[in-house]
Amino acid sequence: MSADATVRFLLDGKLHEIENPDPTETLLNYLRYTMARTGTKEGCAEGDCGACTVVVGELHGDRMQYRAVNACILFLPVIDGKELFTVESLRAPDGSLHPVQQAMVDTHGSQCGFCTPGIVMSLFALNKQGVPAGRDAIEDALAGNLCRCTGYGPIIDAAEQSQKTMQPVNSGGASVKALKDIARKDTLVLTGKSDLTGTTKKYFAPVTIDGLAEVVLQNPAATILAGGTDVGLWVTKQHRELETVIYIGGVPELQEIDDRDDAVVIGAGVSYTDAMDRLGALYPDMGELIRRIGSVQIRNSGTIGGNIANGSPIGDSPPALIAVGASLVLRKGDSERTIALEDYFIDYGKQDIRPGEFVARVIVPKPKPNQYFRAYKLSKRFDQDISAVCGCFGLIIEAGTVTDARICYGGMAATPKRAGHAEVAIIGKPWNEETVSAGMEAMERDYTPLSDMRASAEYRLTSAKNLLMKAYAETTSDAQTRVLIRGSAIHAR
């Protein structure tokens, strides 16, 4: 363990140090109340509106990678060893505006201005990619920034104008050297106090998977933190005091994606952004489903492993992964065990994870011959909304007969749950409307959904049945039932 309890990061190219901060203070609050950087706003405190958007740079080998994130749900110590840009960072030495800011002025992209700094930072991050962005990429980059008064037309115009002045991405030599100089070689340990309650809190940030396993064994009741897109809300919305937090973002082994002959193995710390294209190449619908999980900011922070580990019945990635037969690797100390992903979810709020154990990897099988995969998300908004129903189908159809079926839904039960009766009703049968109708009827024995603010029980069950028919239509019709949007196959609507 490191005796050094100092969080270090680059801000505007200069080293910034904080000794033993409150481990669950948000980066947003630190920027606003300690540094008086009030350009970064709080709108929703849950990573939805984008007013708090900042840009974080991380080392990837000998190059920098810059991404937009939500400061409102990012705990301050997570920024250790990284580079940070706020809207104030864009000011040139001569006081002139950054090209993104100038474009917003030129196109009248701002009215009240509350959302503008976050929008500017999202477009700044887009420009830092160094790749010309088309209209789809621009809209995707802005999906996590809500603006109630300007309208997105002028903002998109500003994005397109700023793309014309985009500077080539350099290797970030000075930043690379500075971050290498402050790279941590041992577990960061903080012991900070809450400014509100005086509660003493502990924070651990291991840098190896063995170090992580040791810390989790020693602190089995700790909250394990990855992207914070769920845990962050425990603090900002539920006002929980998290006494012990273990951050996994600095463990290289958990950031890896291993491409094997028969599967892709995804570390628990891999972000949605990094997993999306790899999974989308195997299963196009899965890539699009991940794109709709949240905004760019959320996908840059949130992880596949975290979406599984929190056990939510409405998490979108587990139904899709279960439908393709994914398995989960859990580690405790020096030992590991592998279970089918569906077996991890026991009941609402209860998972098959033992004290001192943590999610290490997800194993996603590659498509089999004659396999069809379809995923459908029903929500009130197309982008950035929680599913009312998420239906995923992994079907093997040989010579017109269903030889295997894995059907899984989210939002229909206390956990992501397979439709076992529906599967039995269609396996071994011809893939036709009669078989599908039998599967739809059998589904009534699989689920007793609830009614809530997102959908009624009747809507959920009816929709779940109809999604099976939709999968049938898409896998049998000669009609053009699928379209391409933003580079991924999704369903005509």
End position of a domain, from candidates 148, 182, 216: 182
Max distance between CA atoms of the chain, in angstroms, equals: 73
Residue 159 lies in a domain: yes
> What is the pLDDT tens value at each position of the chain, 493 positions in all?
656 899 999 999 999 999 999 999 999 999 999 999 999 999 999 999 999 999 999 999 889 999 999 999 999 999 999 999 999 999 888 989 999 999 999 999 999 999 999 999 999 999 988 788 899 999 999 999 999 899 999 999 999 999 887 766 655 688 999 999 999 999 999 998 887 788 889 999 999 999 999 999 999 999 999 999 999 999 999 999 999 999 999 999 999 999 999 999 999 999 999 999 999 999 999 999 999 999 999 999 999 999 999 998 888 999 999 999 999 999 999 999 999 999 999 999 999 999 999 999 999 999 999 999 999 999 998 888 899 999 999 999 999 999 999 999 999 999 999 999 999 999 999 999 999 999 999 999 999 999 999 999 999 999 999 999 999 999 997 544 444 334 444 443 3
CA–CA gap between residue 36 and residue 249 (Å, rounded): 27
Q: Using CB atoms within 10 A of its CB, is residue 142 exposed (0-12), middle (13-18) or buried (19+)?
A: buried
CA–CA gap between residue 77 and residue 23 (Å, rounded): 6
Residue 353 lies in a domain: no
Give DSSP secondary structure letters for 433-449: HHHHHHHHHHGGGT---
72: domain CATH number? 3.10.20.30
Residue 257 lies in a domain: no
422: domain CATH number? 3.30.390.50
Cα-based distances in Å from 479 to 141, 355, 364, 473, 493: 32, 52, 31, 9, 14
Stretch (H or E) spanning 335:
strand 335-340
Residue 342 lies in a domain: no
Query: What DSSP character marks residue 172?
Result: -
Residue 345 lies in a domain: no
In total, the chain counts a number of residues equal to: 493
Q: The pTM is what?
A: 0.93
The HSE-up count of residue 303 (CA atoms within 13 Å, CB side) is 27
Cα–Cα–Cα angle for 43, 224, 283, rounded to 5 degrees: 80
Residue 262 lies in a domain: no
Q: Supply the range of the domain harboring residue 451.
A: 371-491
Encoded tokens for 115: 């959302």
CA–CA gap between residue 445 and residue 463 (Å, rounded): 15
Q: Are 270 and 254 in contact (CB under 8 A)?
A: yes
Residue 118 lies in a domain: yes
Residue 214 lies in a domain: no
Helix (H, G, I), strand (E, B) or coil at 272: helix
Task: Give the number of other Cβ atoms within 10 Å of residue 290's Cβ.
Answer: 25
